[in-house]
Chain A
Amino acid sequence: MQPLAPAHPVGISGMSFDWSFALGILPALLRAALITVVVTILSFGLALVGGLVLVLLRRAHPIASRIVGGVVEFIRNTPLLVQILFLYLVLPEHGIVLTSFQTGVLAMGIHYSVYLSEVYRAAIDAVPRGQWEAARALNFTTFSTYAYVVLPQAVPVVVPSAGNILVYMFKDSPLLAAISLVELVFTAQNIAAETFNYLEPMTLVGLIFLAMGLASAQLVRMVERHVGSRWMKR
């Protein structure tokens, strides 16, 4: 890492945006942005699977449905930051020691699998009743009914909402700075603490997030169009 020289004494000319300083710290911030992206995508993957498990549990048995419903309500109505801290601080007390990266993926994955389970639920409910009945008439097993009849029809409905959730997850990833995960905001804070210059790192972080947010929204729209058109062709 190159030395980060303080641009100016703060009191005198901290008033303006220092472009050369901003350019100097940009590589470090972009490297950190990569970690933000990796954490978000891994936890999104976990949430995609976790949400499916939750919704299948909910449909499996009335008692399981009640319990899972209660857990879902609780996780939805409590702050992600507190859940992150809870996992980070409480799990080691019970002998499970995870890195802040693993804790971050786990916490974000669990939190958002709850949101995704609601998305799946709506999508599965939207599959016409006749499809279930047809699958039963054809003597499909429960597994085959889900795998070949219900879920393929639910996917096009899921994609737009799941995409929105991915964008939300991006925006929540700075909370992981609280458990010292070296992502974008944490790195910016470190740079700022070393150089006493907050304006440039924080502004760049905002702009990088804005760019990533716009890019991922665009990506979601593309996937949506792709899935939609493939579905229409069948």
Chain B
Amino acid sequence: MSAVLDARAILLDGALITIQLFLAAACLTIAMSIAAGVLRQSPIRWIRWAVVVYVETFRGTSVVVQMFWIYFALPSLGLKLDAFPTAIVALGLCFGAYGSEVVRGAIAAVPKEQYEAAIALNMRPLERLRSVILPQAFIVALPPYTNILVLLLKSTSAASLITIPELTFRATALNQITYQTTWIFGTILVVYFLLASVISRAMRLLESRCSHWRRPIQSASPA
């Protein structure tokens, strides 16, 4: 009986680390995707090129390879990161690259008139972006961004491969002691499913909160 309780505590602890890892990586993901999505439209050519190289490199290789490269190869170039920062950086940069495409599409979906109106009102470029373009792009970006955050959550399990004691790592370790394979892995699958559901719910809530002001316009147009 006590062994079962122990296993629960161990898995719960692992789930907490998974959540921490997810939250930290999500912050970096959001920051990177906004930065890259906005700078992709920069008037300066070499900035645009740098963004394209970043996005294509991180979208072209898998997050596992990136994690391994940062964890194992980067130290020989003189930069040594611990496992936890490595996982955050790899996940954040990888999904930031995916997210930047969402942000770019959302910015492109803002009607041209909005830019023109902002210019006509004599707004400076940064002000234009901050108070006119991004608030409107934000709502368009939310639904596809939900997918990216769920993908990010699922990819945190890859951090177990660089020995971060999160949920998947704990399950593998626990399995080697107890051999209650079906129970352990069934449990963590359910935990991941519940966490993903929480993310989807939270994003849907955010979406309905943020598009509140939009409703009259939407109902006026034919569905």
What is the interface of chain A, defined by CB distance below 8 A to chain B? 10, 14-15, 74, 77-83, 85-86, 89-90, 93, 170-175, 177-178, 185, 188-189, 192, 197-199, 202-203, 205-206, 209-210, 213-214
Contact = CB atoms under 8 A, between A and B. Distances in A.
B196 A78 contact: yes
Interface size on B, as a range, is: 35 or more
The secondary structure that dominates the B interface is helix
B208 interface: no
A99 B154 CA distance: 25
B157 A79 contact: yes
Given A171-B62, A202-B72, A209-B60, 19 more contacts: A14-B76, A77-B150, A77-B196, A79-B153, A79-B156, A82-B157, A86-B189, A90-B182, A90-B185, A93-B182, A189-B68, A198-B73, A199-B73, A205-B65, A206-B69, A209-B62, A209-B65, A210-B60, A213-B60
Contacts of B33: none
Contact of B175 (A89, A192, A203): A89
B22 to A, nearest CB: 12
Contacts of B154: 77-80
* Closest 10 pairs (CB-CB, A-B): A171-B62, A77-B196, A198-B72, A79-B157, A202-B73, A79-B154, A199-B76, A174-B64, A213-B60, A14-B76
A209 B59 CA distance: 11
B28 interface: no
Contacts of A82: 157, 168, 171, 185, 188-189, 192
Contacts of A15: 76-78
9 contacts: A77-B192, A79-B192, A82-B192, A85-B185, A90-B185, A198-B75, A199-B76, A209-B61, A214-B60
Given A77-B150, A79-B154, A206 B65 contact: yes
Nearest to B183: A90
Interface in B146-195: 150, 153-158, 160-161, 168, 171-172, 175, 181-182, 185-186, 188-189, 192-193
B114 interface: no
Nearest to B179: A93
A77 B197 contact: yes
Interface of B: 57, 60-66, 68-69, 72-73, 75-78, 150, 153-158, 160-161, 168, 171-172, 175, 181-182, 185-186, 188-189, 192-193, 196-197, 200
A178 B155 CA distance: 14
A64 B60 CA distance: 37
Contacts of B156: 79
B73 A89 contact: no
Contacts of B75: 198
Contacts of A77: 150, 154, 192-193, 196-197, 200
